[in-house]
Amino acid sequence: MKSRPFKQVDVFTATAYRGNPLAVVIDGTDLDDAAMQRFAQWTNLSETTFLLPPTDPGADYRVRIFTPGGELPFAGHPTIGSCHAWLQAGGKPKAAGLVVQQCGAGLVPLR
C-alpha cells in the first residue's frame, strides 16, 4: 500500500483547535473515487480534500472534496484550507499573488 502524506488543517483561525478542521491529501494521484470516499470516511471530518494535477490549463492545481457521505463540487473552508496546504507543500502559482484552484464548480481564484 502506498503511503499518502496528508495534513489536518485548522481553517478560519490562528489558534490551534479553534477552527474548522480539514484533512488534505497532498497527492491524490492514482486514487479512484471509492478510495477517496473511504479515506474521507476514515478521517470522519466534515470534509477531506485530495490535491491533484489540474486538467484545465488555467489552474494551478485541482482539488476534489469529499464528505463522509459523498463528493461536493465546492465548499468554502476546503477551498481555503486546500490552498494553504498546497502552498505549504511547495506549490508555486503561475501568477504572482494569485492561486487558481480547479474544483467541481470550475476555476476558483484565491488571493
With the CA atoms of 9, 40, 49 and 27 taken in that order, what torsion angle do they form, in degrees rounded to the nearest 10?
100
Tell me the domain boundaries of the chain: 6-110
The tens digit of pLDDT for each residue in 4-60 reads 899 999 999 989 899 999 999 999 999 999 999 999 999 999 999 999 999 999 999
**Which pLDDT band, with edges at 50, 70 and 90, does 1 fall under?**
low
Between CA 2 and CA 24 the distance in angstroms is: 16
Catalytic residue set: 47
pLDDT of residue 4: 87
CATH class for the domain made up of 6-110: alpha beta
What's the whole-model pTM score?
A: 0.95
pLDDT of residue 31: 97
pLDDT of residue 93: 98
pLDDT of residue 3: 83
